[in-house]
Amino acid sequence: MGADVLVDRATPIDAGLVATIHASCFARPWDEAAMAQFIARPDTFCLIASVVDSSGAASAGFLIARKAADEADLLTLGVAPSCRRMGLGRALLRTAMAVLRASGTKQLFLEVDEGNDAAIALYRSLGAVEVGRRPTYYEHGADAAMFSLAL
Q: How many domains does the chain have?
A: 1
Question: pLDDT per residue over 3-14, tens digit each?
Answer: 688 899 999 999
Query: Domain limits at 68?
Result: 4-150
Q: What is the CATH number of the domain that holds 21?
A: 3.40.630.30
Question: pLDDT per residue over 34-77, tens digit each?
Answer: 999 999 999 999 999 998 876 766 888 999 999 999 999 999 99
Regarding predicted confidence, which is higher, 146 or 136? 146
The burial class, CB within 10 Å (0-12 / 13-18 / 19+), for 84 is: middle
Question: pLDDT per residue over 67-126, tens digit each?
Answer: 999 999 999 999 998 888 888 999 999 999 999 999 999 999 999 999 999 999 999 999
Predicted confidence (pLDDT) at residue 139 exceeds the cutoff of 90: no
Instruction: Say what the pLDDT of residue 82 is.
Output: 85
pTM > 0.95: yes or no: no
Report DSSP letters for 36-59, one per residue: HHHHH-TTEEEEEEEEEETTEEEE
Q: How confident is the model at residue 2 (pLDDT cuts 50, 70, 90)?
A: low
21 three-class SS: helix
Element (H, E) at 127: none
Q: How confident is the model at residue 18 (pLDDT cuts 50, 70, 90)?
A: very high
Instruction: Say what the pLDDT of residue 1 is.
Output: 44
- Beta strands per DSSP E along 69-134: 71-79, 107-113, 129-134
Alpha carbon distance 30, 24 (integer Å): 11
Predicted confidence (pLDDT) at residue 147 exceeds the cutoff of 90: yes
Provide mean pLDDT across the span 15-38: 94
